[in-house]
Amino acid sequence: MSGSVWRLVIGALGLSAATTGHAADPPSVSMGPFEIITEFRKISSGAFPNLTANPFGRMTVSSFEVRYRGVPIQLSDGTAQVSRFSDARFLEAAPRPAVLASEAGTYLISEQSGQLSVETLAPASSDIASWQWLDADNGQPIAPRNITVRDASAEPRTERGGRLLLLNRRVVLDVATLKHYPVVVNTYEILQKIGDYNASNEPVRAMSPGRTQLLFVGNRYDNSRFDYALVLAEYATGRVYGVPFDRTALRFESVWDVTPEWIARNFEWTKDKNGVEELRLRKDFKSPPWQGKLRGTRPRVDYVLYPTQPQVMDEFFGYLQRAYGASYVAAAQGGNPTSPSKMVAIGTSQFYLFYSADERSLLLSAAGPANADLSVNYRLIEEIGQRFNAELAEGKYQNLFTAYPGTR
């Protein structure tokens, strides 16, 4: 075969390979002078993320290149040069074509007066980049989204949800104007001012009615106990203040209790003569009745009474006897009548009833062989929890509860 024929064959094979590779790539997405190109690469799946025990496993992840008038953008972040991003999306509600992009840092890429503009909104740090819409759920925040190494090729290349975005927990971007404001809640001066309540690693849990303030949960560790406060940051002015609260009085078990409903029940927003919003504990505040909680993912649930005193074991079992004809299974006690773990029978179903003095918690959970169908047990636990909570809501059994561990 002649050299010219070989060159023709090799060229055809190369064209075929390139065409096949290109056909597998998602199409680029354009808006105004900008274009987002999706690219793929292989990384080890045996180390990060650890999806398999095979140390030689490989997985496909995506990265994104942003082009301005056909030219790839490379930006500087400190001493690093960044040209590939773990996420890049057009901001749908922006007043001009704009791309929000993240690698370790987060960057705003737009065009102003016919010129390319690149702004580092949050410089790279040891923290994972994150985006959180602050007003996407009826004016309230949704959960933050971490910008991780992954295959994001099937995800949309536009970002929508509201007007305000919190980026890397450090800056608020007003998408409607592309103005941005630093959010700083953990400097030494601020912590001293607000009682040392640190909220730097927390997502925003709520926004004020006027959308001027971000609400975080702050905590401090003092004399072997945790104290808590709501930390408010007025992003446009930099003002930060704290509203400490009594954890036991507000039935505050964990930061996940801080929902807009919990805040509205326990706190109220006011305005001063200048219209500045301020959060405070309700003047008419009254501790609500204690309630138990169903924990787990349906259908596999447990029922927990927390924080409680030791007599809760006998009192709760007495309720199960009266309402469900429950009885103790002697074998579960192991011959020790003071055992904190007992087995309870209700009909043909069996349950563990366990009290932890250290944790001040009573747990009702399903019992049975490892591979047994316990669906009946779980349904009964849910029914018991709902019925006992109804009794608690009427003010019954409140004497069984006590302060949270680690509180005064």
Q: Strands across the sheet with 349-356, in order?
A: 293-297, 300-305, 361-367, 349-356, 341-346, 327-329
Q: What three-state secondary structure class fits 59? A: strand
Look at residue 46 in the predicted model and tell me its pLDDT. Answer: 58
Backbone angles phi, psi at 228, to 5 degrees: -130, 155
Look at residue 63 in the predicted model and tell me its pLDDT. Answer: 96
Give the pLDDT band (50/70/90) at residue 22: very low
Q: Strands across the sheet with 179-182, in order?
A: 145-146, 130-133, 164-167, 171-174, 179-182
Q: What three-state secondary structure class fits 303? A: strand
Q: What is the pLDDT of residues 210-229, one digit of tens each?
A: 999 999 999 998 877 889 99
**Percentage helix, strand, coil, to 5, in the chain?**
20, 40, 40
Inter-CA distances, 400 with 196, 308, 342, 363, 394, Å: 33, 6, 19, 14, 14
Please name each of the domains of the chain with its CATH number.
24-182 (no CATH), 188-281 (no CATH), 293-400 (3.30.310)
Q: What is the pLDDT of residues 184-217, one digit of tens each?
A: 999 999 999 999 999 988 999 999 999 999 999 9
Mean pLDDT of 222-241: 93
Task: Check if the beta carbon of residue 210 is closer than 8 Å to that of residue 200.
Answer: no
Look at residue 303 in the predicted model and tell me its pLDDT. Answer: 98
* Parallel/antiparallel/unpaired status of strands 106-112 and 206-207: unpaired
Per-residue burial over 125-135, b if 16 or more Cβ lie within 10 Å, else e, is eeeebbbbbbb
CA separation for the pair 107, 124 (Å, rounded): 10
pLDDT(180) > 60? yes
CA separation for the pair 11, 52 (Å, rounded): 39
Task: Check if the beta carbon of residue 97 is closer than 8 Å to that of residue 31.
Answer: yes
pLDDT(265) > 70? yes
Mean pLDDT of 63-82: 96
What is the pTM for the complete model shown? 0.83
Backbone angles phi, psi at 234, to 5 degrees: -90, 100
Positive or negative torsion for Cα 94, 97, 102, 107: negative
